[in-house]
Amino acid sequence: MKFLVVDDSATMRRIVVNSLQRIGYSDIVEAADGAQGLEVLDGSIDFVITDWNMPVMGGLDMVRSIRAQPDRSGLPILMVTTRSVREDIVQAAQAGVNNYVVKPFTPQVLKEKIDQVLTKLRGAA
């Protein structure tokens, strides 16, 4: 499974990549903001993990842009962010995010959410 990790913080990208490797995923590409994420996004990406607050294009706008593409409406997207007030989480859900991880997170929580998304999507298919 190939992951796209989008975060403007180089530190956070490395931590997410490290966590993914620890839970068994090694095919990973990275992007520093939503616009770069959309550029990198091609048919080979199976799962997107994105931050919310980023320059140029934020995570929420990137998610909306992905969901506006009919062929990518079912692409699994996980939001990993510091934003944790109810209104923000609801907004992310409405934009089309499949699951939500609050920073700081542990690799176990990341795995749990990825598994939940994949299980739900497999069930819906």
Partner 1 sequence: MIPELASPTREEVMADTQETLRAVARALDALGPLPEKGGNGAAAISFDAMNPLQRLARFLAESYGELAEILEGLRETRGLFRKAEMHRLQHTHITLQEVTSQTEMATTGMLDGLERCLGLVDSIEAAEGAEGEDPRNQLRDELHQVIQHLQFQDITAQRIGHATGVLSDVETRLVRLMGTLEQYGFAVTDHEEEVEAIVEQHVVCDPNATTQNADSRQALADDIFA
Interface region with partner 1, contact rule CB under 8 A, candidates 1-9, 24-32, 38-46, 64-72: 1-9
Residue-wise DSSP of 76-111: -EEEEES--SHHHHHHHHHHT-SEEEESS--HHHHH
Write down the least CB distance from residue 44 to partner 1, Å: 26
Interface region with partner 1, contact rule CB under 8 A, candidates 24-32, 37-45, 64-72, 78-86: 78-86
* Residue 124 makes contact with partner 1 by CB under 8 A: no
Nearer Cβ to partner 1 (46/112): 112
| Cis ω for the linkage preceding 104 (within 30 of 0) | yes
Question: Distance from CA of residue 41 to its chain's centroid?
Answer: 12
Contact map string, positions 6 to 45, toward partner 1, x by CB under 8 A:
-xxxxxx-xx--xx--x-----------------------
By CB atoms closer than 10 A (0-12, 13-18, 19+), residue 16 is buried
Residue 36 per-residue DSSP state: H
Residues near partner 1, by CB under 8 A: 7-12, 14-15, 18-19, 22, 52-55, 58, 81-86, 89-90, 93, 98-107, 109
